[in-house]
Amino acid sequence: TAFSIMVLVVVFPIVNTVARSFRTTDRQFTLDNYLRLLDPTFLKILWESLWLAFMSTLACLLVGYPFAYRIARASAKMKPWLLLLVIIPFWTNSLIRTYALILILKANGLISTLLMWLGVTEQPVSFMYGDFAVFMGILYTFLPFMVLPLYASIEKLDSRLLDAARDLGASGFQSFWHVTFPLTLPGIIAGSMLVFLPSLGAFYIPEILGGAKSMLIGNFIKNQFMVARDWPLGAAASTILTLL
């Protein structure tokens, strides 16, 4: 049944992770794993991860809302094509798309070549291996997850309410703030959750685009399991991330 599958693939792994977080490597009960997470280095990683996830979510909202609004208000002929532009990235593995960003962000890449052509710089500029590259990678990867819920919410909006607001003397901004924004808030919340949560735990984007300079909580957890082989500490960090 569906309940059995949920227990097997969701509940059991979470319970197992929490239980492992209270053990030592020789399976003795301990709270030391959580005490180790009070280290300033981990707290700095956690704060930087939260801040980057928040800024990425905000950027996806600012970019995705106008695009979703344009799709929802497009003609019946254009709407499927605009939706196709949003869905196309899902046809390609996100790891491959992240590697493709290297061609845009590296020295002599698309952005660097454009800046040299415009005369902004005389030398090739690399945007790789820093917070900007990680930010762009998260924005590009998770933008569709923001657009689609927003589109579904905006499409249901009754345009007669906007007409009534204008008839009552409301400006364009007032109509948006008092009518459109409150009625599309469920889509904003859903899209923000779909972007914030996975971007907080993403590890391959910082690893590929950020290099050694970007250590986020997703990388930290992955390294505990795959590199340091400190599974109890990795489980404790995973539990903290799940609670957040």
Q: How confident is the model over 106-134, as pLDDT tens digits?
A: 888 888 888 888 888 888 888 888 888 88
Which of these, 191, 197, 162, 179, lies nearest to 65 by C-alpha position?
A: 191
Dmax (CA) of the chain: 72
Listed as own residue / partner, the contacts of 95-103 with beta carbons closer than 8 Å and 24 or more positions apart are 95/204, 97/140, 97/141, 98/137, 98/141, 98/204, 98/205, 98/208, 98/209, 99/208, 101/133, 101/136, 101/137, 101/140, 101/209, 102/128, 102/208, 102/209
**pLDDT tens digit sequence for 52-76:** 999 999 999 999 999 999 999 888 8
Mean pLDDT confidence for 3-21: 89
Overall average pLDDT of the 206-235 stretch: 86
